[in-house]
Structure 1
Amino acid sequence: MFLLGVEVGGEAWQWRHRLWAWDEDLVEECRALLLTVSLQESVSDRWLWLPDQGGGYSVCGVYDMLTSQEQPQLHSSMDLIWHKQVPLKVSILAWQLLRNGLPTKGNLANRGIISMEGRLCVSGYGHDEDVNHLFLSCPFFGALWSLVRERLGVVGVDSQSMTNHFLQFIQYAGSLKSRRSFFHLIWLQCFWVLWNERNDIVFRNMQSSLSQMLDKVKSSSLWWLKASNVVFSYGIHNWWSSPLVCMGIG
């Protein structure tokens, strides 16, 4: 990769097929991870297994390491994050979110991948970009939730913890299973839109307005439902004006 060039447009980045939008997002995340890596032609590269630098990596060693550690008790939200009408990649990313595993600027700085000075939120409000700020308390990104709640006819105060916010949002639906499933889908859709918007700002220098982000939530959630339900016949106009009525749960 060093000889071929890894800069933008370099020959090292070649693909067997045309990249989809989510592929491009992954490529940009990979570029970000490589920003602080200095490659030298005269120095050979090698993998280093940090838990056992002398003996090296082995499956047995990894098994011993994992089974000897006390496993944290994951919140019940981990079992709820999966939704059959939501693309698997979105649920996986949300699973990473609730484990604080997303490559936010705060996490990248903590791992030494970017400088501590570069950990501020891309919205420009001067706060560190961790998951709770980025998705909930940021004056720009976090404002999407109140617009979505207003569209769903829900009144409430958003929690400032991602796990609590996820559970709280589903509970807004009440006890009816179909309503809870729909609110679950909308929460995942909002998260997906916010994360992609953040990446558009970081990697493409493109920024949508708050109303445009809300429109993305409306249109993409309709696509998800149509993809899993061929008899879902409502058009975009009806869906935007009365989503709960379209779902038969209004």
Structure 2
Amino acid sequence: MIMSIRPSQRGAQDAYIWLPSKSGEYTAKTGYHISRALKDPPAETQQTSINWNADIWLGHFSLKIKLFLWKILQKALPTCENLLNRGHFDNTCCIHCGELETTEHLFFRCKFAQKVWSLAPFGKNLDLSSISFEASINVLKRLVCLPPIRISSGPLFPWICWTIWTARNYRIF
């Protein structure tokens, strides 16, 4: 098999080539992207129901809330589960109830969060305990706040999530 390899006709020296890079040289950036591609399925096969423009970036709420929602959906918000996945082994318990603090637990499944959602002035009762945060955005963006408070033309759910997050941080710090 080695003998079947044809050397360069111009007499060039053998060299290592990193195919994912245009220059042929290895960089940490291309290595990172290859590593992520092997770890995560391709974007075409991932099931996502988030329309980033319609649901987040063009939403009628402040820029800090848009960034906050983006961080949640990218798993960049420092919840205890995300910190644990990054190697920080301090406390992984919910500050309110002691369960493992995941994004869904913090915002929907915790007794504190369920009480907050039950007090929100929506036209119908919510049961968000069995869906993911991504799926909840499609449900929550359609809810009408009753009575109309006319403070803002945007939805109320991002502000409730923000308040749950800041209440959590207030208790921790």
- With structure 2 as the length reference, what TM-score do the two structures score? 0.64
C-alpha separation in 2, matches of 1:168 and 1:103: 24
Matching residue of 1:196:
166
Against the structure 1 CA distance between its residues 106 and 156, is the aligned structure 2 distance closer, same or farther, given a 3 Å change threshold? closer
C-alpha separation in 2, matches of 1:168 and 1:84: 14
Matched, 1:169 2:169: no
Unpaired segments ≥5 residues, structure 1 = 1-54, 174-180, 204-250
C-alpha separation in 2, matches of 1:93 and 1:114: 24
| Alignment RMSD | 3.1
> Which of 108, 117, 125 is residue 136 of structure 1 equivalent to?
108
Paired letter, 2:111: P
Matching residue of 2:127:
157
> Which of 85, 108, 124 is residue 110 of structure 1 equivalent to?
85
Which has the larger helix fraction?
Answer: 1
Deviations 1:86-108 (A, max 9, x none): 22121111012123321101111
Q: CA deviation at 1:135?
A: 0.5
Q: CA deviation at 1:196?
A: 1.1
Check whether the contact 1:106–1:130 (CA below 8 A) recurs between aligned residues. Answer: yes
Work out which structure has the larger RCO, using CA pairs closer than 8 Å and 6 or more positions apart in sequence: 2
Against the structure 1 CA distance between its residues 137 and 62, is the aligned structure 2 distance closer, same or farther, given a 3 Å change threshold? same
Deviations 1:145-173 (A, max 9, x none): 1111xx23323433532122221122334
- With structure 1 as the length reference, what TM-score do the two structures score? 0.46
C-alpha separation in 1, matches of 2:32 and 2:141: 36
Check whether the contact 2:93–2:101 (CA below 8 A) recurs between aligned residues. Answer: yes
Matching residue of 2:34:
65
Mapping for residues 1-250 of structure 1, pairs under 5 Å: 57-58=28-29, 61=30, 65=34, 70-71=42-43, 72-79=46-53, 80-115=55-90, 118-123=91-96, 125-148=97-120, 151-160=121-130, 161-173=132-144, 182=153, 185-203=155-173
Check whether the contact 2:84–2:92 (CA below 8 A) recurs between aligned residues. Answer: yes
- Report percent identity of matched pairs: 27
**SS of residue matched to 1:163:** helix
Q: CA deviation at 1:81?
A: 1.8
Q: CA deviation at 1:188?
A: 0.8
Paired letter, 1:65: I
Q: CA deviation at 1:68?
A: 5.9
**SS of residue matched to 2:117:** helix
Check whether the contact 1:77–1:167 (CA below 8 A) recurs between aligned residues. Answer: no
Against the structure 1 CA distance between its residues 153 and 64, is the aligned structure 2 distance closer, same or farther, given a 3 Å change threshold? closer
Query: Which is higher, the Rg of structure 1 or of structure 2?
Result: 2
Against the structure 1 CA distance between its residues 68 and 119, is the aligned structure 2 distance closer, same or farther, given a 3 Å change threshold? closer
Matching residue of 1:230:
none
Unpaired segments ≥5 residues, structure 2 = 1-25, 145-151
Count of residue correspondences = 136
